[in-house]
C-alpha cells in the first residue's frame, strides 16, 4: 500500500509520541526508584531514558522540517534535515555509552581501592525489569514502523530504545547480584554496565556511519546503480548511459546521468522519451526522486554532429 508524504509524516509522529509517553513515565519511575532505592546504577539508567526522551523531541522537530517542499534556499528540498536528526541521535547515543562506561570504570576502580558500594533496594530491581519489558516492546514497534515508513530517524530512535533495554539488563543483573549475593558482589553492577556500554557505543557507530556517508555525498550502493542502468537501458532509443551520479537526500534519491540518443530525433520526441524515463525512475524509487538527464546526440558515421565555431561564435566553415 502506497502512502502519501503527509500520511508518512503523521505516522512517524504517532509512533514518536507513543514512544515519548512511555519514556516520560519510565524517567519519572526510574529516578524515583534510583533515589528511594539508593541505586546509582538506576539513577544512571534514568539519565539514559532521559536521553531517549530528548531524541524523541529531536525526531518530532526535524522530521517535520524534512517534509517541507524545496524553496529558494533549498533547491533539493529539506530531506537531509532528517539525516541530521539521525546523526544527532547517534552522537547522543555515543555520549551516553561513553558516560556509562566512565561511570562503571570509576566504580570498579573505587571497589579495587577498597571502597564498598551501597546495596540497592528492591524497587530499583523492579524498575529495571519494567524498563526491559517496556523498552523491548516499544523498540520493536518503532524499528518496524521505521522500516515500513522508510524513516532512518525513526529506525535510529528504535535502536536507541533497544540500547536502553540492553542497558537495563546490565543494571538489573548488577542490582540483583548486589541484593541477593551480598555487599561483596556490588561490583557486578558497574561491571555489567561497562559491558553493556560497549554495545551502546557499537550501536552509535552503526547509526552514524550511514548519516556521514550521506552528508559526505557517498554514492548509492553499486547494486542500486546497476539497477538504474538496467531500467534506463530497457528504453528503446537510449544508448550509452554514462556519467552516472547518485546520492541520498533524506529518504529519497538524487539520480543524474548522461545518455546518447539518435541525433535525428525531434526535440519533442527526445523530450517525451526522457520524460518516460524520469517517470519510471520515480515510480521505482519514489515520487520525490530527483532525476536529471543530459542528452547527447549519437554519432552517426559520415555525419557531423555540429560545426566547429570560431571564438566570436561565427562558423569556421560557412556554407
Strands 252-262 vs 290-298: parallel, antiparallel or unpaired:
parallel
- Asked which of 200, 215, 230 is the last residue of a domain, the reply is 215
Is the same domain home to 239 and 106?
no
Number of domains forming the structure of the chain: 2
Per-residue pLDDT, 256: 93
Is the same domain home to 263 and 134?
no
Does 246 map to a domain? yes
Is the same domain home to 82 and 168?
yes
Residues 6+ apart with CB under 8 A from 265: 237, 273
- Name the residue with cell 538496467: 230
Is the same domain home to 163 and 19?
yes
Does 316 map to a domain? no
Name the nearest CA neighbour of 147 among 4, 15, 282: 15
What is the domain-level CATH number for residue 67? 1.20.1510.10
Give, for all 319 residues of the chain, the pLDDT tens digit: 567 777 887 888 788 788 888 888 988 998 999 889 878 778 777 777 777 677 667 766 766 666 666 667 665 655 677 777 778 888 888 888 888 888 888 888 888 887 777 777 899 899 989 989 998 898 999 999 888 888 887 888 788 788 778 778 877 888 888 888 877 787 777 777 777 778 778 878 888 888 887 777 788 889 999 999 999 988 988 888 899 999 887 767 889 999 998 888 888 988 999 999 999 999 989 877 889 999 998 875 555 545 444 555 554 444 4
In this structure, what C-alpha cell is assigned to residue 93?
A: 547515543
Report the distance separating Cα 46 and Cα 194, nearest Å. Answer: 16
C-alpha dihedral sign at 104, 110, 112, 114: negative
Tell me which residue range forms the domain holding 280.
Answer: 222-298
The answer to whether 200 touches 90, Cβ cutoff 8 Å, is no
pTM of the model: 0.61
In this structure, what C-alpha cell is assigned to residue 175?
A: 542490582
Is the same domain home to 199 and 274?
no
Sheet holding 238-249, edge to edge: 238-249, 252-262, 290-298
Is the same domain home to 95 and 17?
yes
What value, to the nearest 5°, has the Cα angle with vertex 160 and ends 157 and 163? 160
Strands 238-249 vs 252-262: parallel, antiparallel or unpaired:
antiparallel
Report the distance separating Cα 78 and Cα 63, nearest Å. Answer: 9
Amino acid at each position: 500500500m502506497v502512502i502519501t508524504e503527509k500520511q508518512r509524516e503523521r505516522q512517524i509522529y504517532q509512533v514518536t509520541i507513543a514512544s515519548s509517553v512511555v519514556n516520560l513515565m519510565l524517567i519519572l519511575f526510574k529516578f524515583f526508584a534510583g533515589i528511594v532505592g539508593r541505586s546509582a546504577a538506576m539513577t544512571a539508567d534514568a539519565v539514559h531514558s532521559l536521553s531517549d526522551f530528548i531524541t524523541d523531541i529531536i525526531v518530532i522537530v526535524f522530521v517535520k522540517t524534512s517534509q517541507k517542499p524545496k524553496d529558494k534556499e533549498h533547491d533539493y528540498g529539506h530531506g537531509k534535515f532528517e539525516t541530521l536528526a539521525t546523526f544527532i541521535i547517534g552522537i547522543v547515543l555515543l555520549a551516553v555509552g561513553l558516560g556509562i562506561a566512565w561511570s562503571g570504570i570509576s566504580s570498579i576502580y573505587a571497589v579495587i581501592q577498597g571502597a564498598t558500594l551501597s546495596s540497592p533496594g528492591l524497587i530499583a530491581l523492579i524498575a529495571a525489569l519494567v524498563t526491559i519489558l517496556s523498552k523491548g516492546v516499544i523498540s520493536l514497534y518503532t524499528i518496524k514502523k521505521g522500516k515500513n515508513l522508510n524513516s532512518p530517524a525513526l529506525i535510529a530512535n528504535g535502536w536507541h530504545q533497544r540500547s536502553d533495554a540492553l542497558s537495563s539488563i546490565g543494571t538489573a543483573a548488577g542490582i540483583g547480584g548486589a541484593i541477593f549475593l551480598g555487599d561483596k558482589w556490588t561490583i557486578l553492577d558497574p561491571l555489567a554496565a561497562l559491558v553493556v556500554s560497549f554495545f551502546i557505543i557499537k550501536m552509535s557507530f552503526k547509526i552514524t556511519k550511514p548519516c556521514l556517508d550521506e552528508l559526505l555525498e557517498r554514492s548509492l550502493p553499486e547494486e542500486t546503480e546497476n539497477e538504474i542502468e538496467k531500467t534506463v537501458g530497457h528504453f528503446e532509443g537510449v544508448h550509452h548511459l554514462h556519467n552516472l551520479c547518485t546520492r541520498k537526500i533524506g529518504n529519497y534519491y538524487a539520480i543524474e546521468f548522461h545518455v546518447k540518443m539518435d541525433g535525428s530525433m525531434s526535440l519533442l520526441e527526445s523530450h517525451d522519451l526522457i520524460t518516460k524515463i524520469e517517470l519510471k525512475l520515480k515510480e521505482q524509487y519514489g515520487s520525490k526522486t530527483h532525476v536529471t538527464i543530459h542528452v547527447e546526440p549519437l554519432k552517426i558515421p559520415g555525419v557531423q554532429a555540429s560545426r566547429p565555431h570560431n571564438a566570436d561564435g561565427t562558423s569556421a566553415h560557412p556554407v
